[in-house]
Amino acid sequence: MKKLIAGNWKMNGNLAANDALVRAVVWGIREAACTVAVCVPAPYLAQVQMLRAGSQLELGAQDLSQHEQGAYTGEVSAAMLKEFGVRYAIVGHSERRQYHGETDAVVAEKAKVALAAGITPIVCVGETLAEREAGRTEEVVKRQMAAVIHTNGHCISEIVVAYEPVWAIGTGRTATPEQAQQMHALLRAQLKAATEHADRVRILYGGSMNAGNAASLLAQSDIDGGLIGGASLKAPDFLQIIAAAA
């Protein structure tokens, strides 16, 4: 299975900076041995779709609505994303769960509408620092994953999972390769109980992955790629992570 390195730009970028970044990434991944995507703010989808044309770079969104269409001001549907060539959509990022009140059930519905539109959801799960310190890591992550499995049935083999310990996101504090592998193995086992195709589900690690720590994380047997925030905004850093995934 090819590894997947997906950048999450979050609410960063502007037309000029995006242009330089995407051109550098497209050039840098000409011979990449892994799949590479950038999940960009919705207003920039058209720009990045044009910049990536003819390259290996895949386009991703950072969220989508759980509704198909209608009176949902401010929301963006899966069908709209699809029209702009979106291949992946992050769902359930901890920042959406934390600042926008997204529940496990909403995240599961978002994964479902993405799959129905032919978009691969990158489903984020992960515990907060308080939950880890209270010894609740496995319980929390299993609960988040179970909601998505319950709502998506056999389609679960079509998703991508991102294990992102909340305490490691944007903090410079990374899970050790062993800590991450332990959680990835747990998620793999949970997926195995739900589908005979669990081995083809890519489980990404996210949380302060950078050029220096990527290789040791990506060497773990159940780490199938990375979801990269801050380091995806600098082409040389992002390209070094991509090289580490080869």
Q: Return the active site residues.
A: 93, 164
Check residue 228 for interaction with ligand PEP (CB under 6 A): yes
Check residue 165 for interaction with ligand PEP (CB under 6 A): no
| Contact indicator for 205, 168 with CB cutoff of 8 Å | no
How many other C-beta atoms lie within 10 A of the C-beta of residue 206? 28
Helix, strand or coil, per DSSP, at residue 31? coil
* Min dist. Cβ of residue 227 to ligand PEP (A): 5
* Min dist. Cβ of residue 231 to ligand PEP (A): 6
Q: Which residue is nearest to ligand PEP (CB)?
A: 229
Check residue 209 for interaction with ligand PEP (CB under 6 A): yes
219 class by beta-carbon count within 10 Å (0-12 exposed, 13-18 middle, 19+ buried): exposed
Check residue 170 for interaction with ligand PEP (CB under 6 A): yes
* Min dist. Cβ of residue 197 to ligand PEP (A): 25
Token pair 């890591």 is found at 137
Angle among Cα 227, 55, 117 to the nearest 5 degrees reads: 60
For the chain, counts of helices (H) and of strands (E): 10, 8
- Give the range of 70-78, 145-153, 183-191, 227-235 binding ligand PEP by CB under 6 A: 227-235
Helix, strand or coil, per DSSP, at residue 151? helix
* Min dist. Cβ of residue 124 to ligand PEP (A): 7
Among 4, 169, 214, 217, binds ligand PEP (CB under 6 A): 169
Check residue 13 for interaction with ligand PEP (CB under 6 A): no
Tokens of 242: 């991509």
- Give the range of 22-30, 40-48, 109-117, 204-212 binding ligand PEP by CB under 6 A: 204-212
- Give the range of 22-30, 59-67, 181-189, 228-236 binding ligand PEP by CB under 6 A: 228-236
Separation of first and last alpha carbons in the chain: 11
Check residue 92 for interaction with ligand PEP (CB under 6 A): no
Tokens of 168: 């490691």
Rounded distance between C-alpha atoms, residue 86 and residue 81, angstroms:
5
- The residues binding ligand PEP (CB under 6 A) are 8, 10, 164, 169-170, 206-209, 227-231
